[in-house]
């Protein structure tokens, strides 16, 4: 079976600084992978390289989505093929109405799948359904994208976008940062509802607490730009107890 995501010996740098140093990762449909690691391990870089952000140069290796290399694709093409990055710091976009943004995203993705575009009322209905489940009211959607949202509201909005766009591969970059315990529950429940045999997740986090709510199948430890250890969900608890120090030494 072709894996959903296959990262092979990935090397990447930014401004000549090497961040990823031969990272391997295989995610199959239906699996939830957690990537943990100390600050500076390259976790966020991995999420950006997978999503296609400008400024990162891949010097070696490949990234395959359902067997197809993504490295030459624009971020929008990757998104239309089912990659979704939930941002650690979602952007505020003054002047762009949230509904305009969501409808543009929905229709861009529908277009590449050969589906008819959604009319404005249809898009609003669809958004309303999904938003309601995450406790996002329509007043929030009337504001410009993420403008004036609290940290928790931004993360809920990210989860809402994810539910709306129904991606195949969800990348969650430090989704727990800036969340209090109640918001963490709401967001985790939103994510858990999306778990399905057809969908894979890569959950990037520094702390174990998110993984109490989004329970992973596989846990990886990342250090100095590569995976240094892989285990089951119990690995997360072990890390919480022992810290990352041993891995930092190993990598050095």
Residue 90 in contact with other proteins, rule: CB under 8 A: yes
167-182: burial string, b at 16+ Cβ within 10 Å, e else: bbbbbbbbbbeebeee
Residue nearer to other proteins on the CB measure, 93 or 138: 93
Structure tokens at 116: 């008819």
CA distance 180 to 61: 38
Residue nearer to other proteins on the CB measure, 13 or 166: 166
Residue 68 in contact with other proteins, rule: CB under 8 A: no
**What phi-psi label fits residue 218: left (phi over 0), alpha (psi between -120 and 50 degrees) or beta?**
beta
Count, residues in the chain: 252
Residue 178 in contact with other proteins, rule: CB under 8 A: no
97-127: burial string, b at 16+ Cβ within 10 Å, e else: ebbebbbebbbebeeeeeeeebeeeebbeeb
Residue nearer to other proteins on the CB measure, 103 or 226: 103
Select from 60-68, 77-85, 132-140, 203-211 the region that touches other proteins (CB under 8 A).
77-85
Residue nearer to other proteins on the CB measure, 203 or 227: 203
Residue 101 in contact with other proteins, rule: CB under 8 A: yes
Residue 71 in contact with other proteins, rule: CB under 8 A: no
Q: Residue from 87, 149, 244, 247 that binds other proteins (CB under 8 A)?
A: 87
Nearest approach, Cβ of residue 117 and other proteins (Å): 13
Residue nearer to other proteins on the CB measure, 54 or 234: 54
Q: Residue from 45, 98, 159, 161 that binds other proteins (CB under 8 A)?
A: 161
* SS3 label, residue 51: helix
Residue nearer to other proteins on the CB measure, 84 or 247: 84
Structure tokens at 36: 């943990």
Residues 2/61, Cβ–Cβ less than 8 Å: no
Which residues have CB under 8 Å from 139's CB, separation 6+?
none
Residue 94 in contact with other proteins, rule: CB under 8 A: yes
Binding residues for other proteins (CB under 8 A): 51-54, 74-76, 78-80, 84-85, 87, 90-91, 93-96, 100-101, 104-105, 108-109, 112, 144, 161, 165
């Amino acid at each position: 079976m072709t894996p959903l995501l296959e990262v092979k010996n990935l090397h990447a740098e930014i401004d000549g600084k090497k961040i990823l140093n031969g990272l391997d990762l295989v995610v199959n449909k239906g699996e939830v992978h957690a990537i943990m690691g100390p600050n500076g391990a390259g976790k966020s870089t991995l999420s950006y390289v997978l999503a296609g952000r400008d400024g990162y140069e891949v010097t070696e290796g490949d990234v395959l989505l359902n067997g197809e290399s993504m490295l030459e694709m624009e971020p929008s093409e990757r998104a239309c093929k089912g990659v979704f990055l939930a941002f650690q710091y979602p952007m505020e976009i003054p002047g762009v109405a949230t509904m305009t943004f969501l409808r543009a995203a929905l229709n861009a993705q529908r277009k590449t799948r050969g589906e008819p575009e959604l009319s404005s009322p249809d898009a609003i209905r669809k958004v309303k359904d999904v938003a309601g489940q995450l406790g996002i009211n329509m007043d929030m959607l009337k504001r410009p994208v993420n403008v004036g949202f609290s940290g928790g509201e931004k993360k809920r909005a990210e989860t809402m976008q994810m539910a709306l766009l129904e991606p195949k591969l969800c990348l969650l970059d430090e989704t727990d940062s800036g969340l209090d315990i109640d918001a963490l529950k709401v967001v985790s429940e939103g994510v858990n509802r999306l778990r399905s045999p057809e969908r894979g997740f890569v959950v990037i986090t520094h702390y174990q607490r998110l993984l109490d709510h989004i329970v992973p199948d596989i846990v990886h430890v990342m250090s100095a730009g590569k995976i240094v250890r892989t285990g089951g969900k119990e690995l997360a608890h072990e890390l919480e107890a022992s810290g990352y120090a041993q891995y930092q030494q190993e990598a050095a």
